Amino acid sequence: MTNDPAILPAQGAILLVDKAEGWTSHDVVAKSRRALRTRKVGHAGTLDPMATGLLVLGAGPSTRLLTHLVGLDKTYLTTIRLGYATVTDDREGDRISTADAGAMGEVTPERISAAAAELTGDILQAPSAVSAIKVNGQRAYDRVRAGEAVELQQRPVTVHAFELGEARHGVDDTGAPVIDIDATVRCSTGTYIRALARDLGKALGVGGHLTMLRRTRVGPFDVADAVGTEALAQGGALPLLAPTSVATSLFPRLDLGAEQTIDLGNGKKLEVDPAVVPDASIAAAVGPDERLVGLVQVKRGRVRAVTNFPVETGGAP
């Protein structure tokens, strides 16, 4: 790990950022480019401006790891409001339906738990209409903002856990009855938490949407280890994760000798003991100097490079 934002290592780095509400993911990338003095910065999954929490960024050659980070499971803290639905499935959208007091009176803790259970496990989910999914070449959210009715096809996702807190009864700013519920969701990539809130409200017959969303984990990465967006904007020291430590936290480690490092860098296939790295596995190949040589795939005991990394010393790319 390095704390000098002026010197990005030759292999780049991974940066964890705790995004503040109101910032776009693009805002975070732009600030990171300035702080790290490189144009080559990408992220492993966006967050809406309303949402807060963990963004995983890659800088320099470490952007090559992002493909392998996008698919990691994620954990969210959220607050769901039952009582009305919105066009965006969150508090920023216009209201499209409101439940009456009679329907709200029938929403019991038992019914809420049963509905959440039906949304747990391997499920089919229609993404929120204001997602970035393209429909005939145009983002779904652009079509919604243009006044179109957009309904996206269901797709398989996995909700590993949908843990609900105590239901809090109240009224909204119009005097209509609402129920707020805090929840923790652990899910596969591609799961829309706004859609979970929408579908929970729909199952209960009263409508639902998100009022708060915070991403706390992406795979092994925790928001507690992230730098805040204000600190990012101010410059100064940043906690950069070396690609070797990131890759070996995700994949089996394959240590290479000096000659093997050169051979793999030149495109040659290596042989490896299947007991060290099983066949059909992705592994992190690490050179004798602890530099990440690349991600490799093992088939029948032979190693081939999937993603190579620069091994020369030097400054920022």
**Predicted local confidence at residue 1, as pLDDT:** 44
**Predicted local confidence at residue 315, as pLDDT:** 39
Sequence-ordered list of residues with C-beta below 8 angstroms from that of 108, at least 6 positions apart, any chain: none
pTM of the model: 0.89
Helix axes 109-118 and 193-204, enclosed angle (nearest 10): 130
What DSSP string describes 40-86? -EEESS---TT-EEEEEEEEGGGGGGHHHHTTS-EEEEEEEEESEEE
**Predicted local confidence at residue 132, as pLDDT:** 63
Name the pairing type of β-strands 302-308 and 292-299.
antiparallel
The candidate with the shortest Cα–Cα distance to 218, out of 58, 44, 1, is 44
**Predicted local confidence at residue 4, as pLDDT:** 47
The amino acid at residue 204 is: L
Per the residue annotation, which of 48, 89, 180, 199 is the catalytic one? 48
- Beta pairing partners, 180: 81, 168
| Contact criterion met (CB below 8 Å) for 70 and 55 | no
* Both structure tokens of 206: 């009263």
**Predicted local confidence at residue 141, as pLDDT:** 60
Q: Which of 131-164 are b and which e, b meaning 16 or more Cβ less than 10 Å from the residue's Cβ?
A: bebebeeeebbebbeeeeebebeeeebbbeebeb
pLDDT tens-digit profile, the chain (317 residues): 444 444 788 899 999 999 999 999 999 999 999 999 899 999 998 899 999 999 999 999 999 999 999 999 999 999 999 999 998 899 998 899 999 999 999 999 999 999 999 999 999 999 887 666 665 666 656 666 656 666 778 999 999 999 999 999 999 998 999 999 999 999 999 999 999 999 999 999 999 999 999 999 999 999 999 999 988 888 777 889 999 999 999 998 989 899 988 888 887 888 877 777 777 678 899 999 899 999 998 887 788 888 888 755 433 43
Is 18 annotated as catalytic? no
